Structure 1
Amino acid sequence: MLIRTALGFANHLLAGEAWARKRLQPFAGQGLRLICGPVTANLVIRPDGTLTEADTSNVPAVELILPPEALWQSGGDREALIAATRLNGAADLAETIGFVLRHLRWEIEDDLAPVLGDVAARRLAKGAARFIAWHQRQAQAFAQNLAEYFSLEKPLIVQRFEFAAFARDVGQVADATERLNRRVESLTARRNP
């Protein structure tokens, strides 16, 4: 269900961008495998440059691997999400897929305008963008507050400078212990000729 929804959305975006379909058309019939944690989708490029589901026996020419944590770590930042994605396989198709992913945009206003009208669609899109940005700022502030709480007030997390000082101290104790061992061995050797 999720894969079909995502595939429908991807084809909706491709339908609105002739340049993207044109770039994908030379690769018609070649397979893609999208992997995000336990979710795997096998796709094939159609002759018109859109995508369709493929069966599992289809050998993909390219694999797109997205670490699951990248979905929440990116915070909705498209560039960060694309940067976290690894492309493996045929270089020419991987390069084309990467280019299409970086440049394909969803113009939500264009989809809402026929239903709501131009002004309402623009206001709704701008309001949604502000709402999403506000949520991202709140999530980031919450994460920072949580890290501060667990590192300063209830020290469950060691701060970087504290860890560096501890490591330095451990190194100094190890050096002193080594010097002491050498001194003891030297004195023992002198006593027992």
Structure 2
Amino acid sequence: MHSIQDELSRMVQAGLPGAFVYTKNADGASQFFTAGVADLTTERRMTPDSRYRVGSTTKTFTAVVTLQLIAAGQLAFGHTVQQWLPELPIPNTDYLTIEHLLRMRSGLFDFVDDPSLLSLDANLKPYRLHDVVRLGINHPSRFLPGSRFEYCNTNYCVLEMIIERATGNSLQHEL
């Protein structure tokens, strides 16, 4: 039987950038296992103290940082994506707002529905923030911003890019 550490190492060798597992047995003893890197840009090693995206839980933190920046006057609900990210060919950016992104009313295509992500190998490939946003914006909008609700992971990736542009820092730093 392979150990957890062996499995994590195997996953990293197969292309996963990094992984972290925390275990706790019935006696309360806990262990941390890590492999790979926590940051593809700096190649900082994964440690038990590393901060990284944790699926949809990250959306809560992204929303909090966005709301803090709104409260501080650095952002506003009515700011458009065009104001902050004019270089991105995002559909409807001239009237797509931060509020639309926060409230899941953007109409953007959800990058997780891109057919290229359906293969098993796609789950091991490292994706940067700009990669997943491009997957989302390379498709037509699903509807006009504000006209209806639809859960969309792309929204919060775009918000993260706006946070980075507004603060000059990564989301991880702002947290």
| Bigger relative CO (Cα 8 Å, ≥ 6 apart) | 2
What TM-score results when the alignment is normalised by the length of structure 1? 0.28
What TM-score results when the alignment is normalised by the length of structure 2? 0.30
- Higher helix residue share: 1
